[in-house]
Amino acid sequence: MDKLIWDKYFSLVEEIKQSIMDRCPFEEFSIGEFYMLRLLMDYEKRNVNVTTKLISEYLRISKPAVSQMLNALEKKELIERTINKEDRRQICITTTRKGRDLVIEQCKKHEELFSEIIKSVDEKDIETLFVILENVLKAVKEV
């Protein structure tokens, strides 16, 4: 029974994700790069100096994988690396205006699509979905 539930859940989530990606593709960067830029922007809002180590720990991926993605983003002029003024041994990573603008544009496209989707689903069903998701989140935290 558990495997059937997992398979159904995974299948639905993947199908939803793929349908959204088909309607709202990433043109300037990959989905992984998009999430990296969103993470950087989130830290920037909180005035946190972002390093490769911080990204690696947060995303739970290796430092070389982070460096490879950062190199690609830097080549596209979506991020820049600067020496930390407080600790010259650290390199801080920030988004460029171009990077922020592209992320904001992509988020806007996703929000518009999401609004269209929500309009076609009964409001009661959406409320039920949120209750279910909150219950699942609670269960995940307790396990």
pLDDT band at 1 (very low <50, low <70, confident <90, very high): low
- Predicted confidence at residue 71, as pLDDT, reads 96
**Mean pLDDT to the nearest integer, 103-124:** 92
Q: Which of 66, 79, 82 is nearest to 28 (CA)?
A: 79
- Could you tell me the pLDDT band of residue 6, with boundaries at 50, 70 and 90? confident
pTM: 0.78
Average pLDDT over residues 31-43: 92
pLDDT at 103: 95
d(CA 11, CA 21): 15
